[in-house]
Homo-oligomer: A and B are copies of this chain.
Amino acid sequence: MDAQEIAERAGKTMFANDASSPHVGMTLDNISPGKAEMSLVVLDYMLNGAKVCHGGYIFMLADSCFAFACNSHNDATLAQGCNIDFIRPAVEGDQLKAKAIELSRGRKTGVYDVMVTNQNDKLVASFRGKSFSSGKPIFEEQAE
């Protein structure tokens, strides 16, 4: 398997085991080594008291996208910590897209950048996540 096949297989395996991302309607649109793209439509139950999308759902989209990107090497990783800046609000019906890229990846830790934009390509949030590798595979490459 080459790196792209590994990324696709890792993404497929993770998504199949993930109850949380599909529960809110997230889709995995693209995955490649160190990169991922996911989408989320803002639904009525996601609105907070100010009638804008709860930051938790914007974070959840970015965090999932980060997780798929950092697991794309078939090395199961955990999120150690994340930083998010909320640039502009999202409202009901907005179609949010997240794109994650790998800034660095060492033996145990990595740094990833995720940008969340809306259907007008406007920046909704910038996110940075730090990963920690478990050293275990998502799927057994040999067992194929």
Contact = CB atoms under 8 A, between A and B. Distances in A.
Contacts of A130: 80-81, 85, 130
Interface residues of A, number: 53
B17 A49 contact: yes
Q: How many copies, total? A: 4
Nearest to A87: B104
A37 interface: no
A90 B18 CA distance: 15
Contacts of A18: 47-49
Contacts of A60: 54-57, 59-60
A113 B104 CA distance: 15
Contacts of A87: 103-104, 106, 111
16 contacts: A18-B49, A20-B47, A23-B45, A55-B59, A55-B79, A59-B60, A60-B60, A78-B86, A81-B81, A81-B111, A81-B130, A85-B128, A85-B130, A87-B104, A103-B126, A108-B132
